[in-house]
Each structure stands twice: as structure tokens, then as C-alpha cells.
Structure 1
Amino acid sequence: MSASFQKTRKYGLVAGVWLFIVPAISSAHFLELIPQHAVVSEQTGRSINLDIQFTHPMASGPRMDMGTPVRFGVMTRGEKEDLLGSLTKEEDDEKRHYSSGYSIQQPGDHVFFIEPEPYWEPSEQAMIIHYTKAIVSAYGGDGAWDQLVGMPVEIEPMTQPYGLWSGNLFRGVVLKDGEPVPGATVEVEWRNDGSVAIPSDEFVTQTIKADQQGVFSYAMPRDGWWGFAALLTADKPMKNPDGETVDVEEGGLIWVYVQDME
């Protein structure tokens, strides 16, 4: 055995061990719609900011380039308000994301929602559309936290989605065109603030199967924002940027904030 082969073999083994010990972390796509506050009160003030980006929350990135949203608004007491004009486009490393400011004008539950421009993901050979919402309680709420926006795929919360302590159980039902989806797959990720090191891929995205009524549940172990993504394949395909007919992943997402009990 030549010295050069021995050297190559040695480094090959080292590289193999290194790849085994430190694998690349993979994670799911999530459209983030993150309000500055989940509960608005006299202490917080009526103005809130909302951050919007398409990313991998648990892995803290990378961010994907996000086209101009199709819809962005808020629903209060059954009335929808168009907020597309309030969006501010931001760009980092040629990856677009958005922010918005909103002033709460009345008490009650405010359901912020967004429909993004379809995103082409070559690795999945699919277009991705994540219909996303987050509920903000203002000055006590009004018990309308389960009101539906009417998106093609949507999670209806069965647990009040704010005022939650870490360890609380969140329950929801997956709906497609307003009807429950038996056995739907729901992916769950925590929006990592950098305080948690990920031991391996298995800890990045939690996966749940809904029951025959489309109902799922998950106990959130840590404070912060948790994203729940119900993922379905759309009935109709779509053209990708190259003009090829491909499947469409339709996601119904909801973001829920959890606080530690101190």
C-alpha cells in the first residue's frame, strides 16, 4: 500500500467520521407571519409590527426569496381589511421579505392572514403556497379566535391561540375548502432564537398525523412562537418557472405564541 493511498484513506476516514458526527441540518419550509405582540393591551400600546418571511424557523434560516404576496389582511368581527398597501419590501442577500405596521383600532380578536406568491422548490419538484395566519388578542379579545378566513387550506384552532403557557396543549382541525381532512400531515417547528442547539435532523421538524376528524394536538415545551403547517397536495397542478406542469403543495399555517410561567 503506497504512502499516498494510506494518506488518502486516512483523510477519507476522517472526512467520513466528520460527516457522520456533524450532518447538515435540514428543515421544512414555513411562511412566517409574526406579530410583535400576541396580546395587545394598554401596556404594549395599540401599534404592532408584523414580520413576514419564507424560511426554516427551527434552523434559523436560510431565508428564501419571497415574491409579492397575493393577499395580506386582517379580519376582525367577521370583517376583512386589505393590508397589501401597508407592506414594506426588504431585501437581504437578494432574498426578499416583508414587514408591516398596524394600529389596533378596536378591542377583539384580530386574525392576520397572508396568501403568498407561489414558490418554486426544485428539490421537491413542486410549487409551494402556504396560506398563513396569526391571531392577536386586543384589549381582552372577544372569543372570536376560531373565526375562519376562508383560505383553501386552513387550520381552525380548537385551543385559544394566545395566552398560552409553555407545556399547554394546542389543538386544531385541518380544513380543506371548509371540510375536515382525515389523517392530514401537520409539521411543527419552533422559531429558534439561537438559544437551542439542534442535535440532529430528527429534532428539527415535529410531524403529527391528524385523526379521522382532521384533529391534531401538540404540547409546546418552550416559550416563543410555534408554527403548525398542515400540508396537502392541491387538486390541480401548476406551471413552474420553466413552463413544466408540476404538483402544488398547499399549506395551511397558524402561528401560536407561548410564554413561560415565571
Structure 2
Amino acid sequence: MKTLLGTALTALALPVMAQAHFLLEYTTDTMIDRPGDVPVKLIFWHPFENGHVMDLEMPQEFFAIHRGEKIDLLGGLEPVRFRGAQNEGAAFKGAVPVKRSGDYVLVTVPAPYYEEAEDIYIQQITKAFLNRNELPTDWMNPVGLPVEILPLVKPYNVIAGSTFTGQVVANGVPVAGAEIEIEYMAAEPDMDTAAASTGTASPLPGGALVAISDANGYFTFGVPKAGYWGFAALGAGPATEHEGKELSQDAVIWIRAWDMQ
């Protein structure tokens, strides 16, 4: 249990890991105008500094929630290679069938990844969001995952300069004192070349951006810049061991911020 810092916390630059592992469910946009298959890539990477790419195994689950119904997308995944500035790693590409208006909550439950440098396994259960025709239907509802972050702000059209608030829950119960790493997707994947684009921002001094959830699992972050932002509640899940080693079961959520015109 971490020390509680208050009821609404903005991000702090703390000297934790210099590089933050983040599983991406990347689409070029979050707001979809026309019906059709929306390309998506699953990448395990360090997108803030365009750092090391980790090899991603076939996920245990990959699906979307639309109007409360589950759409299984696992069978449509194809292995690809993704190249960052430092190296190349295994990733996956797929598609989300966006037809009716409403929200499409993308969910990936990956296989645990062994991080040799830390001698632990990492499992980042990840959510991202698409919307068609500006009709909100599912973004605010829990999916029922072992651990997840529930957004209290509509996550696909956050205003840059405003705030984002989420709640960390494990098996539906709020997680107090959760350490939440915060990542800006400074280098976005190029969907055509399977490589990282040029970064648009540099990581701040002091290591990863971190917030701590309050007694009811809530945290708040002031979003300074348009683009994709990721939040990872580290080790907040109920599973703590895998194959005889420590497991960090993390909840990840990606939001999209926009500049007000």
C-alpha cells in the first residue's frame, strides 16, 4: 500500500523506472465517421521516448464491447514486426468492425511478459476507446476485468488543458494507494510502414510521471497536450505470481486529448 496523497492528485515526476512499459491498442483515430473495419495494432513499447520494443505474444483475449455486447477479435489478429528507434519486436495487427453508432471499448488481456532485467512477469490488461457518430454508449461501464481503470471523463475527446479522472478497481473493488504511471504517446506508430513516427515531445526530467490513487481508488491528471495518453496502475490486480515469479498485473487505459479550436 502506497502513502495516500489526497483525494485528487495530479501527476508527479518521481524517480521510478526511467522507461515505462505500455501495451498499445493503437488506431489512428478515436472518432469514426463511416462504418467499416478500423485497423488496430497491438504493440508493447515505450512510446514516450520511442524506446525499447518488447516482443508481444498472442494475447489471451482481444475483444470489443459495443452496446454491452462482446465482440471477439482474437481470431483476426495477425503477427507483424514493429520497429522503434532502438529495435524491432513482435506485434500484432487486427481490425475492429465499427458498424452501428456508439462506443467500442477495446480490451486486450495479454499473456504475462517476462522482464528479465527485473526478474518479474508483467501483464498489462489494457482498454482503449473508439466512438462512431458521437453517441456515447459504453465508455463509462466496467468491463468486469480482474483489474481495470474506470474513466470518469469521456476518454476519446478529452480537452487538452483540462483534467482526466479515473478509478482503479480490482474485481470491482476500489484500489487505494495504487501507483499509476502516466505515458504520452510522443511517437505514434505508422500504420503503413510498421515503424514509429518521429517523436513530438521528450520525457520530462525525474523519470516516469506518477500519480497515486486515493482511498476510493480515484486519481486525477491535468492533461497538458493533445494526443494519446496512457495510464497504468502497476500491480493493482489480484494475481501476484506467475510460474513461480512475481507478477505485476497492471490495468492500462488509453485516452485521446484534443486541442480546442
Which bracket does the TM-score occupy, shorter chain normalised?
0.7 to 0.9
Greater shift in the superposed pair: 161-170 or 190-199: 190-199
Deviation at 1:131? 0.3
Measured in 2, the distance between the counterparts of 1:155 and 1:195 equals 26
Deviation at 1:102? 2.3
Deviation per residue, 1:75-120 (Å, 9 max, x gap): 0111101101111210256621011122311111110110111100
Q: Is the aligned partner of 1:67 residue 2:57? A: yes
Ranges in structure 2 where 5+ consecutive residues have no aligned partner: 1-16, 188-198
Deviation at 1:165? 1.6
Measured in 2, the distance between the counterparts of 1:198 and 1:142 equals 33
Name the TM-score, length of structure 1 as normaliser: 0.82
CA pair 216-195 structure 1, distance change in 2 beyond 3 A: same
Contact 2:19 2:51 in 1 (8 A): no
Q: Aligned Cα RMSD in Å? A: 1.7
Letter in 2 for 1:116: P
**Structure 2 partner of 1:27:** 19
**Structure 2 partner of 1:120:** 114
| Rg (Cα) greater in structure | 1
Name the TM-score, length of structure 2 as normaliser: 0.83
Letter in 2 for 1:247: E
Q: Is the aligned partner of 1:195 residue 2:187? A: no
**Structure 2 partner of 1:261:** 260
Measured in 2, the distance between the counterparts of 1:30 and 1:89 equals 18
Ranges in structure 1 where 5+ consecutive residues have no aligned partner: 1-24, 240-244
Which residue, out of 160, 165, 169, partners 2:163? Answer: 169
Measured in 1, the distance between the counterparts of 2:231 and 2:202 equals 21
**Structure 1 partner of 2:45:** 55
Pairs within 5 Å for 1:2-41: 26-41=18-33
Which residue, out of 124, 128, 150, partners 1:130? Answer: 124
Deviation at 1:164? 1.6
* Equivalent residue pairs, number: 229
**Structure 2 partner of 1:206:** 209
Measured in 2, the distance between the counterparts of 1:135 and 1:235 equals 25
Pairs within 5 Å for 1:86-105: 86-92=76-82, 95-105=89-99
Contact 2:67 2:137 in 1 (8 A): no
Measured in 2, the distance between the counterparts of 1:217 and 1:99 equals 32
Contact 1:115 1:132 in 2 (8 A): yes
Contact 1:33 1:133 in 2 (8 A): yes
Letter in 2 for 1:31: L
Measured in 2, the distance between the counterparts of 1:35 and 1:185 equals 27
Deviation per residue, 1:203-248 (Å, 9 max, x gap): x521001110000010111111000101126444111xxxxx2110
Letter in 2 for 1:118: P
Deviation per residue, 1:23-55 (Å, 9 max, x gap): xx931111111222211124xx54321121001
Contact 2:49 2:202 in 1 (8 A): no
Measured in 1, the distance between the counterparts of 2:21 and 2:88 equals 18
Contact 2:53 2:88 in 1 (8 A): no
Measured in 2, the distance between the counterparts of 1:60 and 1:150 equals 32
Deviation per residue, 1:111-159 (Å, 9 max, x gap): 0110111100012221110000111111122342112221111001111
| Identity level (%) | 31
